[in-house]
Copies of this chain bind each other. A is one copy, B any other.
Amino acid sequence: MKAGNIFSEIPDSPIDEIFEILLKNDHFRLERIVSSGQATPPGEWCDQDMNEWVILLSGSAGLLFEGEEEVTLMHPGEYVHIPAHKRHRIEWTDPERKTVWLALHYE
């Protein structure tokens, strides 16, 4: 059986976010994302071609969706659904510990 631990094998001091595909087929891509304090650059939005269901598993983050005034705080266990082309920003991720996300991108 292909097995692992989502919290293991995380490099110590990455400058960039780490994206790792756990599972993929023609219809979806399941991905581990590890953030270390990164954020979407000021003035920019994420605009994705695929739908995304994403759960935060450790650390914390703040998400902003276009048209909303309040940042959505995310703590371990919290998930959110982001439809394709719903513009959003990662306002911040935890500067003190790794933020681990599990994201399901699908058509």
A56 to chain B, nearest CB (A): 10
- List chain B residues, Cβ under 8 A from A86: 1
Would you call A15 an interface residue if the criterion is a C-beta within 8 Å of the partner chain's C-beta atoms? no
- List chain B residues, Cβ under 8 A from A30: 53, 104
- List chain B residues, Cβ under 8 A from A2: 80-81
Stretch touching chain B among A4-12, A36-44, A89-97: A4-12
Chain A interface residue bracket vs B: 20 to 34
Q: Is the CB of A79 within 8 A of B27?
A: no
- List chain B residues, Cβ under 8 A from A8: 77
Would you call A34 an interface residue if the criterion is a C-beta within 8 Å of the partner chain's C-beta atoms? no
Interface residues of chain A, those whose CB is within 8 Å of chain B, are: 1-8, 22-23, 25, 27-28, 30, 53, 55, 57, 65, 72, 75-82, 86, 102, 104, 106
